[in-house]
Structure 1
Amino acid sequence: MSRVFFASELEGTALYWRIERRDGVALGFTGHDRDLWFDGLLHRAAPGMLPSAIRRNAGLEADSAEVEGALSHDAISAADLAAGRFDGARIIVGVVDWETLERALLYSGELGTIAQEAAGFSADLQSAKAALNIDPVPRTSPTCRAVFCGPGCTLSSARFTHEGVLAAIDPETNRVAFTGAPAPEALAGGSLRWIDGPQVGLAMEVIEAGVDGLLLDLAIDPATPIGSRALLREGCDHTLATCAARFGNAANFQGEPFLPGMDLLARYPLAPQ
């Protein structure tokens, strides 16, 4: 918009911020004392949540910002923060005229490190410039560097994703078992994403798979009912032997399994006996 904010001494403006989680949930908040509806989203009044100074520059240095607030809204709970529902979420911060709903964007990026402090939380915000700090040059490794069914791997994720129905759960050992799932050895090193139950939308890694079920990296909610569904992604140990024998994908192997290691430098000739 062409609106210039803070051009006069008194204006009806308020800050707003929007959080778009990776599971598709969008949350809106505003520092105004009543809810505001715009951009197809209800922005709830949350005067206890305030962003700190937002620093933007025209150079390549990463823009920085931080948001702090109290865990007073049901939409942001300590349990959801601990479960990782907000990790990597996209965030937008702006200013809005609460009378005309004219608005201007101040900052956009992703949620970085989230820390809980007593009854509140703080989160670092990372702008798109943070991607410039990633080193694009691959390092040599005997195992495949590509994410299974990701860029470089070229395999179809749909081919190795199965919908399973929860048949057994053991919160003490953090293991689950599914019907309709492939053999346990195929799920070793894989992942699952819940599409039913109290942890719907959450993704978990499979640490170990066997006859006792799948051992997950995140705690299972004991209230998860039998019959809950999940999308199970098969795993890969990233070795050339598995890539060739199991997947027939050795041509796209992203590693150097035959490159001599550092121990080659320590070798020396021995006199014949």
Structure 2
Amino acid sequence: MTSTTIARAWSVTRADGMVVGLTDHDQPLHFNGIDFRPDSGMSARAIVQGAGLSVDNSEAAGILSHDAISEPDLIAGRWDGAEVMLWELNWQQPSAGARLIFRGSLGEITRVGSQFKADLRGLSEPLGKAQGRVYHPRCSAQLGDAQCRIDLDDPRFGLNAKVEIAEEGRVFTWKALNTFDDRWFERGVLRVEGGTAKGLSGTIKNDRLDASGARRIELWLPLGAMPETGDAVRLIAGCDKRGPTCRLKFDNYLNFRGFPHLPSEEWLVAPRVER
């Protein structure tokens, strides 16, 4: 492979499985089962890769394209954390001698006019996260994860509904949705399962049920795309990570990952009386 036949090819894979192939070559390329398009430019600063566990440092930039990396999808967060792979290859024979020079994920994505920029995070990035258990009276697991073992699709802990009234992608109201008690979904999740906002989710801040059976749910932050009337959503119960909640609300105390009998800070600093 000579310098005159070298091209770069990117594959970007979203969490929902959608794959986009981009190249800085002026013609389409096909490699590794992916079609790489030249009309959706994407470039990167020089890849900096350390020999030890240092974090790879680079930045990708490109032009928003309606059918590839679109502005609405970026705003909605659909590309957050997407897997990125970058190859150097011979555009005359893409499958011969291709070299993988970067693998990681998209970090923070910013937009300037019609351009986007995204930090590239290398495979060593997760090693910088805190490891080990937290000793705390409340549970350290996330509802529905491998430690909690709650099935979030269980009808006892959530329900499916159709959007009736949506305000600013953050406040949702149903005229009659009283299957669960007041505040049942606080700290839970509203997950969109249909329409243009499918795949997006938000954490529930408030869940209020009035005497008529109407339910009003408010999210902490607006969804990246506005759900429409009739779109399918799922409401998932909230957990405050307390032992009584785990036992009474979810009947899951055997999997509780907190330490409810730890002495409080007041007990630790209280003066001792000598006998």
Q: TM-score, normalised by structure 1?
A: 0.84
In structure 2, list runs of 5 or more residues that go unmatched. 210-214
- Within 1, Cα distance between the matches of 2:11 and 2:195? 26
Query: Which of 240, 257, 262 is matched with 2:260 structurally?
Result: 257
Contact 1:171 1:222 in 2 (8 A): no
For the residue of structure 2 that corresponds to 1:132, the secondary structure is helix
Instruction: Give, in angstroms, the shift of residue 70 of structure 1.
Output: 2.6
Q: Which amino acid aligns with 1:206?
A: I
Aligned to 2:64: 71
Query: Which of 120, 124, 133 is matched with 1:138 structurally?
Result: 133
- Within 2, Cα distance between the matches of 1:53 and 1:88? 21
- Within 2, Cα distance between the matches of 1:82 and 1:45? 24
Farther-moved stretch of structure 1 (167-176 vs 247-256): 167-176
Contact 2:168 2:222 in 1 (8 A): yes
- Within 2, Cα distance between the matches of 1:126 and 1:65? 8
Query: Which of 79, 101, 107 is matched with 1:106 structurally?
Result: 101
Aligned to 1:175: 172
- Within 1, Cα distance between the matches of 2:176 and 2:57? 47
Aligned to 1:119: 114
Q: Which amino acid aligns with 2:190?
A: L
Alignment coverage as a number of residue pairs: 264
Q: CA RMSD in A?
A: 2.7
Aligned to 2:212: none
For the residue of structure 1 that corresponds to 2:124, the secondary structure is helix
Report Cα offsets for 1:148-173 as digits up to 9, x if no partner.
Answer: 01121122233245432223323386
Contact 1:240 1:250 in 2 (8 A): yes
Q: Quick one: structure 1 residues 201 and 47, their matched pair in 2 at CA, closer, same or farther if it must change by over 3 Å?
A: closer
Instruction: Give, in angstroms, the shift of residue 107 of structure 1.
Output: 0.8
- Within 1, Cα distance between the matches of 2:262 and 2:207? 31
Aligned to 1:185: 183
Q: Which amino acid aligns with 2:161?
A: G
Overall identity of the aligned pairs, in %:
30
Instruction: Give, in angstroms, the shift of residue 20 of structure 1.
Output: 1.0
Contact 2:7 2:90 in 1 (8 A): yes
Contact 1:30 1:45 in 2 (8 A): yes
In structure 1, list runs of 5 or more residues that go unmatched. none
Aligned to 1:25: 18
For the residue of structure 1 that corresponds to 2:267, the secondary structure is helix
For the residue of structure 2 that corresponds to 1:251, the secondary structure is helix
Q: TM-score, normalised by structure 2?
A: 0.84
Query: Which of 224, 231, 242 is matched with 2:234 structurally?
Result: 231
Contact 2:163 2:232 in 1 (8 A): yes
Instruction: Tell me, yes or no, if structure 1 residue 195 matches structure 2 residue 193.
Output: yes
Query: Which of 31, 36, 45 is matched with 1:38 structurally?
Result: 31
Contact 2:135 2:259 in 1 (8 A): yes
Q: Which amino acid aligns with 1:40?
A: G
